[in-house]
Structure 1
């Protein structure tokens, strides 16, 4: 913590957190007893599936701030995440993707794998045909009698 000229103290702290797993949803509980209300708290989710939790607030003569980043699993539905602050605990609700969404992702993955396999097969055929064509042309050119 750092003392300022006006007598206030500024400090960065690392909040504790815990996971609670329930059917269809995971809960991330971030313990922030120093914060009395949600003022200054921010929860953001990046495109890469990282939850960024930050806070900046005042407790007595101390200015507190923190930043916590937590990587989410791929089975969370990042579009449906909700956060609620009560009694010093920030409760972040992380719904899991439905089985239909998971199957759709698997289906898209297997489509990509099939496409990749077919594309590699076509590329191999093109290479073999090109090699035979080149060899046939070489034979043809070498058998031509020059006058």
Structure 2
């Protein structure tokens, strides 16, 4: 695609920042508060778990004159955390609240390796359910295509060649 009158392409400049994090430990749960996000909208924030071991919180929003404000926080998840029970809430004061419940002794002994069943980039909860359904549908299609490729590889028509004596 060509630019009008040989204009230079528009480039963005990023203003990276480090939001303040505050931890609170309670009996059955660790609570993380990420402060300094009052100018962000809920849709501009993402919270994911990578490989069942790292909580990744990112945010990006436009400022002005092609400048974007962004941040990225990576936090190691305790092996005693109940990953399926992590909850995220974005408050009106611009504080992101992350609840990391601890496994009970019964869950630790019976669960085995909980992290082994989690895919990389497991979504926790700030994106819309439509987005999640589309991601699941795409993953399902990828599985179907992969299965068809394997079936096509395994089932090849064989040529019969007669051996002349």
TM-score by length of 1: 0.60
State the number of aligned residues.
102
What is the aligned partner in structure 1 of residue 51 from structure 2? 47
Highest relative contact order (Cα 8 Å, sep 6+), 1 or 2?
A: 2
Unpaired runs of 5+ residues, structure 1, are 110-147
Q: Of Structure 1 and Structure 2, which has the larger fraction of its residues in strand?
A: 1
When residues 59 and 33 of structure 1 are mapped into structure 2, their CA distance, relative to the original with a 3 A threshold, is farther
Q: How does 1:1-147 map to 2 (within 5 A)?
A: 10-59=14-63, 62-86=67-91, 87-104=93-110
* Root-mean-square deviation over aligned CA pairs: 2.5
* Runs of 4+, deviation exceeding 3 Å: 59-62
Q: Of Structure 1 and Structure 2, which has the larger fraction of its residues in helix?
A: 1
User: Structure 1: how far apart are the matches of 2:14 and 2:23?
Assistant: 29
Unpaired runs of 5+ residues, structure 2, are 1-8, 114-165
Q: Which has the larger radius of gyration?
A: 1
TM-score by length of 2: 0.54
